[in-house]
Amino acid sequence: MTTTERQPIGVIGTGYVGLVTAAGFAELGSQVHCIDIDAAKIEGLKRGEIPIYEPGLDDLVRKHADRLHFSTHLPDALEAAKLLFVAVGTPPTYSGDADLSAVHAVVDAMPASDRHALVMKSTVPCGTGATIQRIFAQQGKGFSYVSCPEFLKEGSAIKDFLAPDRVVIGDEGDWAGDAVQELYSVLDAPILRMDIRSAEMVKLASNAFLATKISFINEIANVCEITGADVLEVARGMGQDDRIGPKFLQAGIGFGGSCFPKDVTALKQLAGNTGYHFQLLNAVIEVNELQKRRVIQKLQKHMGSLVGKKIALLGLAFKPNTDDMREASSLVLSARLIADGAHISAYDPVAEEEARKLISGVEFASSALDAVNGADAVVLVTEWPEFAELDLADVAGRMAGKLLVDGRNFLDQDAAIAAGLTYEGIGRPQRANA
């Protein structure tokens, strides 16, 4: 990777996207001036404390400590850089629309300048760029605007930044789009220049398509359970078709995270606001909600009433290699189990701190084996690699009951059955214990 000095940039918002973007551009040779309104976060970052769990991020931030500058003072970034990458949150509102208040706070904070550009990394509805350009024009600010949506995945974010499938740049063909292209040009990735609205839509459509693929295979899994087919074999057969591909064909207990649920709803809402009824996305969302709850039915099928039963949850984060709990399936699952009278013990290798903020009434264990002690049933919620190493005979020996619900089809069914467990996957035929 090049370490030649390159143009300095500003990054506004130092969350998952902002911090990875900052560290990534520092790795490519830029001085990066990071701004956040969260003073405690900025003070921590100055001391080298990384507020999120993302593999490789702390090493990269430490490696480029001399290129990464942290401040709560926007002028620090404006003085040093022309391009200001915006990576503030755009969470859903009650209506399902994206909450753009943080984005607008950034826009409003910009001074008049014709030598700066906002580069939007945050996921925003199609048309947001046009609105911001109109605001800049009304306020006589002269700012340029570029849409540069982010496609990184938590858990592999550094790799995704440095080796993206593509870089999408939506701009008006002015200096700012060229400057953003120049920054990314050292990466071995196709750079797609287009208009701003199309770039905004690429991001929403990509996430909606991936979410659709997940809900599709989950529905296939549910039909497999009725017909006796095995969804793992079905996905293997489907995935070999070039037109389909093997990715996002893993059946499970639903998608979560900070992006898919919010972006699918935002696209549905965006269409609805303009009078178009996006039927397919309604189904994608509904299937996902039902899928999170299917575990309850599986538990009840084997155990009847869950009142007083102890259920161990292995994994809480919305996926492995992250501590992100936003919209995690474990939130719905734990709430439903508690409502049905069950006791929950739970273990997650890194997300416990975040989980404690969102889940109450759960006993947090310090290891997977601690969590399963005395459990009537175990549910694998997140496919953390360490769970594949579990000695299932030891697990079975510690449990009071024998039911294992593998919510991600992650564990070895044969090994579970050999250990004396009753194995329930998602979309897999039930096999009797020997």
**By the criterion CB under 6 A, which residues form the site for ligand NAD?**
12-18, 35-38, 41, 87-90, 102, 105-106, 121-123, 150, 152, 154, 258-259
Three-class SS state of 288: helix
Neighbours of 368 (CB within 10 A): 22
How buried is 416 (Cβ within 10 angstroms: 0-12 exposed, 13-18 middle, 19+ buried)?
buried
**In this complex, which beta carbon is closest to ligand NAD, that of residue 42 or of residue 426?**
42
DSSP H helical ranges for 174-325:
175-184, 196-227, 231-239, 260-273, 279-303
Q: Which is nearer to ligand NAD, 113 or 373 (CB)?
A: 113
Q: Quick one: angle between helices 279-303 and 260-273, nearest 10?
A: 140
Residue number with the smallest Cβ distance to ligand NAD? 15
Cβ proximity to ligand NAD, 161 vs 410, nearer residue: 161
Q: Is 183 in a helix, a strand, or coil?
A: helix
Q: How far apart are CA 313 and CA 378, in angstroms?
A: 6
Beta bridge partners of 167: 191
- Least distance (Å) between residue 258 CB and ligand NAD: 5
Supply the minimum distance, in Å, between the C-beta of residue 82 and ligand NAD: 18
- Report, in Å, the least distance between residue 92 CB and ligand NAD: 10
Q: How far is the CB of 78 from ligand NAD (least distance, A)?
A: 13
Residues 6+ apart with CB under 8 A from 397: none
CA dist., res. 386 & res. 371, Å (int)? 14
Burial class (CB in 10 A: 0-12, 13-18, 19+), 243: exposed
Which DSSP string corresponds to 221-232? HHHHHHHT--HH
CB of 202 to ligand NAD, least distance (A): 12
Compare residues 89 and 164 and give the one whose CB is closer to ligand NAD: 89
- Closer by beta carbon to ligand NAD, 327 or else 376: 327
Helices vs strands, H then E, count in the chain:
18, 14
Q: Which is nearer to ligand NAD, 212 or 258 (CB)?
A: 258
d(CA 211, CA 261): 8
Closest separation in Å from C-beta 71 to ligand NAD: 10
406 forms beta bridges with: 380
Residues belonging to the active site: 259
| Shortest distance in whole angstroms from residue 91 CB to ligand NAD | 8
Residue linked to tokens 């540069």? 148
Task: Give CA 195 to chain center in angstroms.
Answer: 26
Paired sense of beta strands 191-194 and 167-170, if any = parallel
In the complex, minimum distance from the CB of residue 374 to ligand NAD, in angstroms, rounded to a whole number: 36
Residue nearer to ligand NAD on the CB measure, 41 or 294: 41
**Which residue, 90 or 222, has its beta carbon nearer to ligand NAD?**
90
DSSP string, 305-372: --TT-EEEEE--SSSTT----TT-HHHHHHHHHHHTT-EEEEE-SS-HHHHHHH--SEEEPSSHHHHH
Tokens standing for 61?
């931030």
